[in-house]
Amino acid sequence: MKCPKCGNELDEGKLLCEKCGEEIKYVPDFDIELEDQLKESISTMMEELALEEHVLEDHALEGHQKNEKEIEDFEPDDDFKEDFRDYFPKKRRSFQNDKIIIVTVIAAVIFIISAAGVVTFIQNMENSYEYQYEKAIECAAGNEYNEAISHLERALAIDDSQTDARVLLAQYYDKNGMRASALSVFNEILAQKKDYSGRDEVYDMLLSIYEEEEDYKKMGEILAQCDVVRIVSKYNKYAALPPKFNKNGGTYDELISVTLEGNTQGYVYYTLDGSAPTVHSLVYETPILLESGDYMIRAMFVNMYGIASTIESQSYHINLSVPKSPVISLDSGTYQEPALIEVYYSDDVKIYYTTDGSIPDKNSKRYDNPIEMPYGRSNFSFIAIDKSGLGSEVVSKSYELRVEANFDVELAIQVLVNNLVANGKLLNTQGNVPDKLGVNKYRAATIIRVGEALYYVIYEEYVDTTGRAHDTNNIYAIDANTADLFQAYKVDEGEYHLQPFNE
């Protein structure tokens, strides 16, 4: 069927044109069998009436002829006529009038039946889901949301399986200021209609309302259960999903680093002892290094709206053999002769060390070659770290390097400074430098033996106004017994080339 106004092709049963909004008026279809039966009954009745009239007319004619004969033979007296006046035949009624009345009655019956059919059709039409749904759309188009809601509620009372009508009802509720009702219907659809193809639109409309209401907690609860990727992505900043672990729990034969990541801006809180994390637990900032042993990491994510995720847990068993500790060539003790500290280790590890007594790690200074024993007291700590990152037990050594000589190290440094002032390389004995605001500092690094003589090896550093030290690459050697001054050039650990200072 086509719309009489715009010619748009209409689906069967549509009461409004979707293109131009024209109301479609249907002429009710009557029961053809009933109409045929009525026609047949009327025809039969008319035939019977015609036959009956004919018979009656014959009988009347015969009776009339007979009566006329009897009347001719019988002549009653006046008293007899008076007594039987009421029984004499009156004027014969016309049967044609009776036929008109009957036909009129039958026509009235037909009209009543037809009218009843029309009324029934209209009532059936108004009680149909399609009619109420279309009327709801028509009312909403005119911003008559109260009437639109009433029609949709009637439509759903007729057929409550129509989810599209429920979605539309929730929208009309919201437009009509009935927000609580709208939220209730949207939540009901998501809870009951798992297979509804328009669930993403329902999520979108529901979350947009909560966003407008600034109910971030409810948004977080909904997003935690949402299985629609597009929706979770769109409202990601309101979601608080469990943090992601870069490694699943299990057994590992190597050292591993575990990273934790939230789905948006916020904080990840975690524990390592199996307890439930809270906002007072450790805050994840750097990868968690797991060495040999058993670990349980439990973590939760809290977004910038204060919404907390559920807790995610992973258990790890790190099955590693700790590398052997390095072997140091020199034992702790006091030394009066220069010596080199050597470390022995396997090829599958690297050696790191510190000289301030702290625990070394892979960020400490790496051992590559024998180390000169520093002058004075020193504390060395060594560790071996394998390819997996697992470290050995730390080995610590303490050394004291002293010599008995005519000049101690402090006096030797003073001799050096006096010579530098005399040569114009320093402005004064406080170490002030020409054309610079900072000062030079001097430290005894070690002692070396060249032939029969022992020399203090002195390193020069420039300290700027911020207190930062810079190596000047100037090295001096002073004879511990004669105070003779030399310019020194390092060849290798423990090996120096000496040149007279004035040359």
Q: How confident is the model at residue 360 (pLDDT cuts 50, 70, 90)?
A: very high
Three-state secondary structure call for residue 176: coil
The per-residue pLDDT for range 57-101, each reduced to its tens digit, is: 555 555 555 555 554 554 555 665 555 555 545 544 554 565 566
pLDDT over 50 (residue 194): yes
Gap between the Cα atoms of 404 and 287, Å rounded: 52
Q: What is the per-residue burial (b if ≥16 Cβ within 10 Å, else e) of 97-113? A: eebeeeeeeeeeebeee
Pairing verdict, β 349-354 and 395-401 = unpaired
Average pLDDT, the chain: 84
The per-residue pLDDT for range 240-277, each reduced to its tens digit, is: 999 999 999 999 988 889 999 999 999 999 999 999 99
pLDDT score of 27: 45
Phi, psi of 31 (to 5 degrees): -70, 110
pLDDT over 70 (residue 55): no
Return the half-sphere exposure (C-beta side, CA atoms, 13 A cut-off) of residue 7.
0
pLDDT score of 188: 92
pLDDT score of 184: 94
Average of pLDDT values for 438-467?
93
In 453-500, where do the E strands start and end? 453-463, 469-479, 485-492, 495-500
pLDDT over 70 (residue 203): yes
Cβ neighbourhood burial of 221 (10 Å; 0-12, 13-18, 19+): middle
Please state which of the ranges 7-21, 111-125, 300-314, 377-391 shows the lowest mean pLDDT.
Answer: 111-125
Of 390, 392, 389, give the one whose Cα is nearest residue 381: 392
What sign does the dihedral 322-323-324-327 (CA atoms) show? negative
Average of pLDDT values for 354-376?
93
Identity at 453, one-letter amino acid code: A
pLDDT score of 459: 95
The per-residue pLDDT for range 6-38, each reduced to its tens digit, is: 777 766 656 666 666 566 655 444 455 555 665
Q: How confident is the model at residue 460 (pLDDT cuts 50, 70, 90)?
A: very high
Tokens of 446: 């070690």
Please state which of the ranges 125-129, 254-258, 262-266, 278-282 shows the lowest mean pLDDT.
Answer: 125-129
Contact 494, 485 (CB under 8 A): no
Tokens of 265: 């801006």
Average of pLDDT values for 196-206?
93
pLDDT over 50 (residue 121): no
pTM, 2 dp: 0.46
Tokens of 219: 């948004």
Average of pLDDT values for 405-433?
93
Average of pLDDT values for 475-482?
94
Of 183, 163, 168, 170, give the one whose Cα is nearest residue 136: 168
Gap between the Cα atoms of 170 and 446, Å rounded: 86
Average of pLDDT values for 200-228?
93
Q: How confident is the model at residue 292 (pLDDT cuts 50, 70, 90)?
A: confident
Average of pLDDT values for 159-184?
93
pLDDT score of 241: 93
Between the alpha carbon of residue 32 and those of residues 38, 45, 113, 429, the distances in Å are: 10, 20, 13, 130
Task: Identify which has the larger pLDDT, 349 or 91.
Answer: 349
pLDDT score of 157: 92
Gap between the Cα atoms of 96 and 137, Å rounded: 58
Task: Identify which has the larger pLDDT, 371 or 112.
Answer: 371
Q: How confident is the model at residue 46 (pLDDT cuts 50, 70, 90)?
A: low
pLDDT score of 62: 58
pLDDT score of 98: 57
Of 383, 373, 368, give the one whose Cα is nearest residue 403: 373
Q: What is the percent of the chain with per-residue pLDDT over 90, rounded to a whole number?
A: 63
Average of pLDDT values for 494-502?
88
pLDDT score of 54: 58
pLDDT score of 118: 45
